[in-house]
């Protein structure tokens, strides 16, 4: 039995470092917090002592002493689909956690799908905020608004939907083209060589994440599954009534319809139409976001796979990144990477 490097049970404090370096506390403080006016030789002595004792600042004490509080705004869409509802809930939970960490989150509800409204909301944001998380739109005005916030010294992270060419410090969300490719591979493999057509239903082609997904989907479908041909993309506007009618029409018109990929919302409509047609089992349906509904359709067998992004993870990650950015701490990219989850009936959480 090998015992790993045994750490001291008693933490080394700044005083310990001062003592072993043979300098005063003030000097250690200057070195540790990278203040001016310390001789290079002394810096080295202190750093050696830090290394020797394995000194790590006690984050609790540091936070307390600094006494900073943080205020973040989360700009989320007004009353929307299940995913957004769940995201809002997770942000609220994150806010609760953050409140114990000297951080406060205000949730601002905005029509994020209208670039002008969104940009205006960002422009008029109170300067009291040190950070903003926003479900962005890749639109010039929104981009400009983000850039202006950043120029004003406010950290901006984009959430779920990115504005890549803006100066946001981080994008918290999945790689949407990759998500589309994942859906296509699943579709192609589940259909295993059968011939036919595949429908793609997006919310709106003016949403960057939806276009990226369908782009990735088409890319793989055309290059690797030539037995399947994709029908023109349909815009369902994330509305169940609309998707119900559209899906019904699709099923009626295309006897050879083998699969449906929905890269937006409106899943209840698709499920209704599929189940009404009696072809629910034979048509492979893949969609995004695990919700109360998609979970049910998955269990029932109407839905074959869900590509998901974890709203809880995204909310927490955005808060952690804003907090780290504002207090100059590093982040661990590994922990902040939002994965493209695949859920089948069998691995539901």
Partner DNA sequence: CAATTTTTGAGGTACGCAACACAAATTCTG
Partner DNA sequence: CAGAATTTGTGTTGCGTACCTCAAAAATTG
Interface residues with DNA (CB under 7 A) are: 11, 13-15, 22-27, 29-30, 32-33, 36-39, 41-42, 55, 57-58, 61-62, 64-67
Over the Cα atoms of the chain, what is R_g?
26
Which CB, 23 or 105, lies closer to a second copy? Answer: 105
Nearest Cα neighbor of 212 from 247, 173, 170 is: 173
Gap between the Cα atoms of 221 and 243, Å rounded = 22
Contact pattern for a second copy over residues 217 through 236, marking x by CB under 8 A: ---x----------------
Which CB, 64 or 92, lies closer to DNA? Answer: 64
Give the CA distances from residue 219 to residues 55, 175, 236, 262, in Å, rounded to whole numbers and listed in that order: 52, 15, 21, 16
Contact pattern for a second copy over residues 41 through 60, marking x by CB under 8 A: -------------x-xxxxx
Gap between the Cα atoms of 88 and 179, Å rounded = 22
- Where does this chain touch a second copy (CB under 8 A) — which range of 39-47, 105-113, 161-169, 259-267? 105-113
Gap between the Cα atoms of 160 and 173, Å rounded = 4
If one asks whether residue 109 binds a second copy (CB under 8 A), the answer comes out as yes
Residue 37's binding partner out of DNA, a second copy, none, with CB under 5 to 8 Å set by partner kind: DNA
Are 149 and 187 in contact by the 8 Å Cβ rule? The answer is no
Give the CA distances from residue 174 to residues 118, 121, 189, 292, 296, in Å, rounded to whole numbers and listed in that order: 21, 25, 22, 21, 24
Residue 256's binding partner out of a second copy, DNA, none, with CB under 5 to 8 Å set by partner kind: none
Q: Which of residues 113-152 bind a second copy (CB under 8 A)?
A: 117, 121, 128
| Unique residue bearing structure tokens 């956690």 | 97
Are 217 and 264 in contact by the 8 Å Cβ rule? The answer is no
Which CB, 65 or 128, lies closer to DNA? Answer: 65
Gap between the Cα atoms of 118 and 112, Å rounded = 5
**How many CB atoms are located within 10 Å of the residue 48 CB?**
13
- Where does this chain touch a second copy (CB under 8 A) — which range of 32-40, 241-249, 291-299, 340-348? 340-348
> Across the strands, what pairs with 285?
260
Residue 14's binding partner out of a second copy, DNA, none, with CB under 5 to 8 Å set by partner kind: DNA
If one asks whether residue 33 binds a second copy (CB under 8 A), the answer comes out as no
Are 326 and 306 in contact by the 8 Å Cβ rule? The answer is no
Residue 34's binding partner out of DNA, a second copy, none, with CB under 5 to 8 Å set by partner kind: none
Tell me the two tokens of residue 324: 């780290």
Q: 3-state DSSP call for residue 7?
A: coil
Which CB, 18 or 159, lies closer to DNA? Answer: 18
Residue 99: CB minimum distance to DNA, A: 11
Contact pattern for a second copy over residues 289 through 318, marking x by CB under 8 A: ---------------x-------x---x--
Q: Which of residues 257-276 bind a second copy (CB under 8 A)?
A: none
Residue 35: CB minimum distance to DNA, A: 8
Q: Please select the residue that binds a second copy; options are 185, 197, 227, 229, rule is CB under 8 A.
A: 185
Q: 3-state DSSP call for residue 320?
A: helix
Residue 226's binding partner out of a second copy, DNA, none, with CB under 5 to 8 Å set by partner kind: none
Which CB, 182 or 243, lies closer to a second copy? Answer: 182
Gap between the Cα atoms of 108 and 123, Å rounded = 13
């Amino acid at each position: 039995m090998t015992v790993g490097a045994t750490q001291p049970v008693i933490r080394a404090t700044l005083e310990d470092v001062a003592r072993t370096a043979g300098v005063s506390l003030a000097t250690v403080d200057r070195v540790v917090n990278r203040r001016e006016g310390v001789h290079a030789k002394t810096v080295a002595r202190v750093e050696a002592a830090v290394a020797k004792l394995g000194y790590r600042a006690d984050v609790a004490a540091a936070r307390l002493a600094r006494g900073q509080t943080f205020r973040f705004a989360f700009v989320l869409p007004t009353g929307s689909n299940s995913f957004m509802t769940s995201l809002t809930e997770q942000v609220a939970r994150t806010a609760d956690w953050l409140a114990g960490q000297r951080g406060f989150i205000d949730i601002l509800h905005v029509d994020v799908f209208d670039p002008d409204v969104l940009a205006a909301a960002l422009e008029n944001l109170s300067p009291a905020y040190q950070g903003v998380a926003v479900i962005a739109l890749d639109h010039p005005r929104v981009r400009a608004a983000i850039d202006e916030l950043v120029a004003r010294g406010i950290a901006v992270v984009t959430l779920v939907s990115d504005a890549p060419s803006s100066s946001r410090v981080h994008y918290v969300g999945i790689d949407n083209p990759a998500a589309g490719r994942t859906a296509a591979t699943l579709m192609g493999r589940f259909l295993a060589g059968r011939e036919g057509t595949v429908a793609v239903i997006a919310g709106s082609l003016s949403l960057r994440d939806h276009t990226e997904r369908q782009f990735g989907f088409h890319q793989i479908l055309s290059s690797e599954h030539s037995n399947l041909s994709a029908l023109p993309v349909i815009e369902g506007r994330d509305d169940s009534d609309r998707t119900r009618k559209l899906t019904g029409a699709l099923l009626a018109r295309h006897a050879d319809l083998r699969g449906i990929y929905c890269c937006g919302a409106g899943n209840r409509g698709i499920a209704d139409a599929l189940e009404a047609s009696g072809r629910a089992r034979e048509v492979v349906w893949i969609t995004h976001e695990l919700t109360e509904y998609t979970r049910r359709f998955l269990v029932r067998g109407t839905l074959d796979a869900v590509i998901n992004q974890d709203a809880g993870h995204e909310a927490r990650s955005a808060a952690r990144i804003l907090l780290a950015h504002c207090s100059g701490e590093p982040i661990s990219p590994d922990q902040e990477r939002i994965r493209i989850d695949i859920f089948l009936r069998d691995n539901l959480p």
